[in-house]
Structure 1
């Protein structure tokens, strides 16, 4: 990637509100779009792309303004991820996961811990990665005096090789307690494997990682005081917030697919020789498909925005989050996750119906949108999200907080 960032990012003032930061994300997307298909094929480590995110200021979007951050909230972060993902789903995912790992200190940690992490992250423009895969219960945490040692392997570690710091997760030896800690990504004993070779989201650096006695002080164990974890209901918001980040880049990828396809239809598609129309844009079935897909996408975008606002109320008063309010929010998130998955898959596959056979050429790169959505929507079965909604409607049951609900 050789495209340089717009000069006004350095010479002009930073955005001052949510609208301005979403516009900045749109500018980032415009830069990424210039060679998105080529970068997807190359599959190179996205160092330049992460540098672009830093230069734009988006990496410190959630950081405190007093330490150089933008001081924005999650409703803006979701929209920013959606905008970036229109051009490049991989970079949108990296940015969304970065926000999640940055927020992890506030989610789990003590006030002293998260204030320190957020200040340092904003001042130093840290880019976060995470070696946190709850299905792989294969990292053990042992004590060594005032330190902890993380040992084991994680199958997935999104953002690994392009991160400044990495969130680690493991189980404290002899207990069932999960320990989270943030360490420098170049820590001794932390080895990232270049083994991410999937059909989609190819630039997310989501390969495996080995932890060979990675050392960090007990004081960095998030939420622990005197070696005991202090739980809050707010700690259990990890799943609904993660799922809304997923929704954000699914919808961004779908919107990008639709915009790219529409441009192709206007400029390259040929009308069918037996249709009786001179231009593809005048064919009734083409018009109908674009209208159908756009209406479905707009509907789920509106639902996503509404659910994000509902969640923001919980973030603004963490100590007031109850099992009831958390569960009700998770049901709403499950609903939008299910719809976003279905609509994104439909949009990214049906665009070929209205672009034509020539649009399948490798040079066009239209397939990357479907590959990206199809890859990540397998993260956790959408049927279980529909089940959360259905059981709540029929019995009033709220989802039990787990790693996936």
Structure 2
């Protein structure tokens, strides 16, 4: 990282390395650890959002907590929890800080990419590397851009190109690259060390929300990886493994990450309501000109009605997200050791559950994070309060891919029982 780029100081969280030295050993303990992380982040979340520095300290906190390892195999030092628990940890962290919840979510996806598109040997090797070293993984896999170009040079592949957006790369140890092999239509994923001359970050993430995700542009110049690291490809023949890449299981990355999105949307929405409730109880004044005047805002009918309605919709969204998370875990558990057995129909059913969650968490999250200002009052718009960050965060990422297309997809499923064709967004 260039010295001129402001970053948070990892030393501020150094004490948590010893405090959290032992990993949690049950699902409940992992969620308790995620809440502990959230409590730490909540203390100065608004200030850190406004300062907009590279989140090196926050990534260090995630490393100290062990949350980066929640899905990893125990034999390498991971928590070996199912995706359903991973999704809930993302949600808990996002309640306090949407940016860090997002970074955790993307890391969990990229660090387990080999489970979906890698060979058995690659799965083992990448898990061992990531978990034993407690690496944080970023990704430059924005499919809206022209794909990175890949050329073959002997026993290596070479990436060249650029992405307008990447996620967490600036503060990562490893970066997932994805591109198309020259002369073919074959896509290749590979994990490469982030700190190298050929990976040049633009440091241009200055958006209204998710300001601590380092989601700006990146230029890739002659970044090399051995053929043995080309996920799902045979290094001897330099060909894709059809038994891995040409089956429905290989397209699970997309519903998996879409459910990552929904869980940090949900966490942001819940966090906004909890933050607003504390503010209302401490600072919001009753309206004195309503004709049915109350002594405090917490006795106002419209305030109670709004909070109750928001709470009910968030609770429903949470139940739906948990159900979808369980279904994702069931698919991985049932087919992880026999990937060829997953049918297009079973994959489609999971995709529809995930699409439902995406629609509901988008709609509910936007409604809650904007609506809480109605029950906190004009003073709650102060930048010092920081209530606006919840809306800015969820508004920013819900534009990742238009939710209108998820509604259309659901309409075709409900009306015609058509499953969506797997794509970069479905």
TM-score range, shorter chain: over 0.9
Contact 2:13 2:60 in 1 (8 A): no
1:2-401 matches, within 5 Å, as 3-4=12-13, 10=19, 13-225=22-234, 226-230=237-241, 231=245, 232-275=247-290, 276-316=293-333, 317-318=335-336, 319=339, 320-401=341-422
Shift of 1:140: 0.5
Structure 1: unaligned runs, 5 residues or longer: none
- Structure 1 segments of 4 or more deviating over 2 A? 1-14
Query: 1:183 aligns to what SS in structure 2?
Result: strand
Query: 2:112 aligns to what SS in structure 1?
Result: helix
Query: 2:175 aligns to what SS in structure 1?
Result: strand
Structure-2 change in CA distance of 1:7 and 1:169 (3 Å): closer
Structure 2: unaligned runs, 5 residues or longer: 1-7
CA–CA distance in structure 2, aligned partners of residues 191 and 177 of structure 1: 25
CA–CA distance in structure 1, aligned partners of residues 78 and 72 of structure 2: 4
TM-score w.r.t. structure 1 length? 0.98
Contact 2:140 2:166 in 1 (8 A): yes
Count of matched residue pairs:
405
Contact 1:26 1:83 in 2 (8 A): yes
Contact 1:332 1:389 in 2 (8 A): no
Structure-2 change in CA distance of 1:401 and 1:7 (3 Å): closer
Structure-2 change in CA distance of 1:124 and 1:88 (3 Å): same
CA–CA distance in structure 2, aligned partners of residues 339 and 173 of structure 1: 40
Structure-2 change in CA distance of 1:46 and 1:7 (3 Å): closer
Q: What's the counterpart of residue 404 of structure 1?
A: 425
CA–CA distance in structure 1, aligned partners of residues 389 and 360 of structure 2: 21
TM-score w.r.t. structure 2 length? 0.93
CA–CA distance in structure 2, aligned partners of residues 81 and 9 of structure 1: 23
Shift of 1:135: 1.5
Per-residue CA distance 1:333-358 (angstroms, 9 max, x = gap): 11110010000000000000000001
Shift of 1:10: 3.2
Query: 1:207 aligns to what SS in structure 2?
Result: coil
Shift of 1:187: 2.6
Contact 1:5 1:31 in 2 (8 A): no
Shift of 1:138: 3.6
